[in-house]
Amino acid sequence: MSESFTPLDELMPESITSPWVLIFGGISRDGNRRARRSAREAVREGVNVLWLDGFEERYPGQNPVRVPIDDLEGTGSVTVAGYRFQERSTLLNRLSYGPPKENYSGPESDQDPFDATNSRLYQAFRSFRTRLFRKIGQAFRGYLIWRLLRPTILRLHESSPHPVAIVYCDDHTIPSGWHAARIWEEVPTGMEFRAS
């Protein structure tokens, strides 16, 4: 078993070896739990895991991408590719939350890139802006995540063997899973990975 973490834009599709399962890890706590269960099950069965992770929770002193999976036993490997930062950079999120901090310095940073300014005026403006765009952002978030992941998925489709399963873990990853299911038509899809 091996476990590696990489930002989405640094993922090398060629490094994915068969058999592998594609997990859209979701952005909710439940989705993250579900993704962990699926990853554990796949590793136990000797299936490699590519986990595209956008989980929101922050871990003190850790980049959010680096969420360790406990109790991994088996011969499969896990590659976690985080897209949280890229998602924050999308237009709608920039409108909702402001631009990501310039000084974000990659996976090793322990700074919160979304920390707001202390200015009252700015806070009021941010509150108004958030109210305005947040609902729209929520409603379209799943689709925006898919647009974000699409180039990666297409590269995977071109240069990697077919996955054995596509797992989507919450409502926000349904669009990604839905499109992936159309790209790999023969591959079974589900909310959890279960060994056959």
Partner 1 sequence: MRRPHLLYIAFFYPPSRASGVYRALATSQAFSDAGWKVTVVTTTQRFFEEEIGSTDDSLLDFVPDGVDVVRVPFSFASGEVESDLTDMGWWRGNFPLLFRYGRDKTRSARSYLEVLRGKSPLSFPMTDRYLSWIEPVVKAGRRVHAEHRIDHVLATGNPYSSFEAARALGALTGVPFSIDYRDPWSFDLRTGGPAKLDQPTLSAEARIIDEAAAVIHVNQPIADAYKRQYPTDSEKQNVVLNGYDIASIGPAKRYDGGPLNFGMLGTVTDLWPLGPLFEAWSRARQSLPPDSRLRMAGHLGYFAWSEEGILNTLPDESAGFVYEGPVEKSDVAAFYGSLDVVVVPLFGGPMVTSGKIFESAGLGIPVICIQEEGGGARQVLQDHPLGFGAEAKPDQIVEAILGAAKAAQALQPEDIERIRQLMSRFERTSTMRAMVEIVTEATPRLAP
Binding site for partner 1 (CB under 8 A): 138-143, 146, 166, 168, 171-172, 174-175, 177-179, 181, 189-191
Sheet containing 20-24, strands listed edge to edge, beginning at the edge strand earlier in sequence: 2-7, 77-82, 48-53, 20-24, 165-168, 189-190
Shortest Cβ 147–partner 1 spacing (Å): 10
Q: Cα separations (Å) of 147 from 11, 49, 83, 86, 182?
A: 16, 21, 12, 11, 15
> Which CB, 8 or 174, lies closer to partner 1?
174
> Which CB, 46 or 151, lies closer to partner 1?
151
Shortest Cβ 23–partner 1 spacing (Å): 14
Distance separating alpha carbons of residues 126 and 94, to the nearest angstrom? 11
Shortest Cβ 112–partner 1 spacing (Å): 27
Shortest Cβ 176–partner 1 spacing (Å): 10
- DSSP reduced 3-state for 120: helix
> Which CB, 64 or 177, lies closer to partner 1?
177
Tokens 């941010």, residue? 126
Shortest Cβ 87–partner 1 spacing (Å): 16
Strands 48-53 and 77-82: parallel
> Which CB, 58 or 147, lies closer to partner 1?
147
Distance separating alpha carbons of residues 74 and 72, to the nearest angstrom? 7
> Which CB, 101 or 179, lies closer to partner 1?
179
